[in-house]
Amino acid sequence: MPNKRAGHLWGNSGSFLFLTSPFLLFWAFFWVVPLFTGVDLAMQESQQFSGSLPGTGYTHSPFSNFERAINDPKFIHSLENTSLFVGGSILITLGLSFFLAISVYELNKKFQGICLFLLLIPSFALPGSLATLFYLFFHGKSGALNQFLVIPLGFDPINWMMDPSWILPCLVLQAVWRWTGVITLVLYCGIRAIPHWQFEVARIEGATAWTKVRTILFPGTRHLLLFSGIFLLVDGVAAFSGAYNLLGGSGGVLDAGLLFVTYAYQVAFPGGSGRFDLPLASAACVLVAGTTACFAWLLLRVRKRMGN
């Protein structure tokens, strides 16, 4: 939050209007107006229902589409899947990235840069490429996951994309694979920013590795962990490309991998379920995006309190 008193420049508001006007213009034109367009669309009567009102018991009201969304089992199912997807990917990515950042930090300085760069490689790939790679390399009886993880542990090979109970974990793994490098880089920078004397004191006092994590590394990076969590939350709710490529635009077997944006896409366009119900899709988007924004804002308030 900017300090109102801060600022060192000329007190001429006109000059600043000139500097900020391009942003304000683009913001209004491509964010505010579409936001209201979305709300307006969500309140319109669906083409599916117009003309079929008599005898159907359906009366349109501005909130009809929101009600229809909430009463649509597929929407609720997509929300459950998205919550599991987001929760799983945030927990695993943050946990793994945190310990990975510490590990890289403790490596010889010569190797730190190259390790960080190599860890970033999955994030360079398009989500579509990750999906293809996941399908060809990890998936299948002879795929890497079965060959190196499942079979050596004594289990039967898993049919990752056809078994409904494994589709969602596949999507979570894909998200973790994609973002771990980026979050590790951010947390590594955070660890580098911790004053060195804290580590010296810990060393002199003979602190164990766990004590260092608990008293120095975690407090020193918790703001970044929260920031990364918010980033992953917003990105996870909006996840589309990976699931779209991996499941061919569907939700997979029994809709086990149906994420929220895929649901909205399916409802809105004939390419999906053929419903072409843009008002319902908009109502679902307004509900979910609004809730996510509020939740993320609450998390930011937590961050502010932590700062105080």
Partner 1 sequence: MNRLFSPILTGLVLLITAYPFAWMFLSSFKTNREIYQPGKMLPESFDPFAYKLLFSGELFDFTAVLVRSLLLAGGQAIFACLVTAATGFALAKGRFRGKSLLFWAALLIILYPKQAMSLALFEWMARLEITGNLYGLMLSGVASGLGVIFFTQVFRKVPDELIDLAKVEGQSPFFCFFTLLPLIFPALCTYGILHFFLCWQEHLLPLLTLGSDQLTLPLALAKLGDSSYHTPEAVGLAAGVLAMIPLFLLFGYFFRRVRTALADWVVS
Range 123-182, binding partner 1 (CB under 8 A): 123-129, 131-133, 136-138, 140, 142-144, 147, 177, 180-181
Using CB under 8 A, count the residues that bind partner 1. 108
Nearer to partner 1 among residue 53 and residue 189 (C-beta): 189
How far apart (Å, rounded) are the C-alpha atoms in residues 146 and 154? 10
Q: Which of 150, 265, 273, 303 binds partner 1 (CB under 8 A)?
A: 265
Counting Cβ atoms within 10 Å, is residue 273 exposed (0-12), middle (13-18) or buried (19+)?
Answer: middle
How far apart (Å, rounded) are the C-alpha atoms in residues 305 and 308? 5
Contacts (CB under 8 A) with partner 1, residues 223-252: 224, 230, 234-235, 237-241, 244-245, 248
Contacts (CB under 8 A) with partner 1, residues 98-127: 99-100, 102-104, 106-107, 113, 115-127
For residue 234, what are the CA distances in angstroms to 11, 65, 101, 221?
A: 37, 24, 22, 20
Nearer to partner 1 among residue 181 and residue 251 (C-beta): 181
Nearer to partner 1 among residue 59 and residue 203 (C-beta): 203
Contacts (CB under 8 A) with partner 1, residues 275-304: 278, 281-282, 285, 288-290, 292-293, 296-297, 300
Q: How far is the CB of 60 from partner 1 (least distance, A)?
A: 19
For residue 295, what are the CA distances in angstroms to 97, 233, 290, 298?
A: 23, 9, 9, 5
How far apart (Å, rounded) are the C-alpha atoms in residues 221 and 190? 6
Contacts (CB under 8 A) with partner 1, residues 20-79: 20, 22-24, 26-27, 30-31, 33-35, 37-38, 41
Maximum alpha-carbon separation in the chain? 82
Nearer to partner 1 among residue 104 and residue 168 (C-beta): 104
Q: How far is the CB of 307 from partner 1 (least distance, A)?
A: 13
Counting Cβ atoms within 10 Å, is residue 8 exposed (0-12), middle (13-18) or buried (19+)?
Answer: exposed
Nearer to partner 1 among residue 14 and residue 54 (C-beta): 14
Q: How far is the CB of 54 from partner 1 (least distance, A)?
A: 29
Q: What angle do CA 206, 209, 213 make, to 5 degrees?
A: 115
Question: Is the separation of the CB atoms in 191 and 102 below 8 Å?
Answer: yes
